Amino acid sequence: MYQVETTPDFDEDIEALDKPVAARIINKIEWLAGHPDLLKNPLKHMPDDLKGLQKYRIGNHRVLFWVDHKNKTIVMYSVEHRRSVYKKVR
């Protein structure tokens, strides 16, 4: 099981969501922490400060995170609606 850490941006994003949507996302993140073999596809063409960032689709939302397999941690960066997620990471 991987340890999940959050950034202040992620905390703000999750608080802004409707409670059922936020609960679904949190449940899926907990599930992913137990299935780290699925976390191996970083996004391409990212700026240097976001290198290694990954995404996971949960309904109409995208969760952005980094995975450190060596230290067994997942650092949650952001959660956004699919239509606006890529504007934030540029």
What domains, with CATH codes, occur in the chain?
3-88 (3.30.2310.20)
> How many residues comprise the chain?
90
Q: What is the mean pLDDT of the chain?
A: 88
Q: Rounded CA gap, 48 and 2, in Å?
A: 25
Q: What percent of the chain has pLDDT over 90?
A: 62
Q: β-pairing, 3-6 with 61-68?
A: unpaired
Q: What is the pLDDT of residues 40-81, one digit of tens each?
A: 878 887 778 888 888 888 999 999 999 999 999 999 999 988
Q: What is the pLDDT of residue 88?
A: 60
74 CB-side CA count, 13 A = 28
Q: What is the pTM of this model?
A: 0.85
- 2 pLDDT more than 90: yes
Q: What is the pLDDT of residue 86?
A: 62
DSSP tag of 2: P
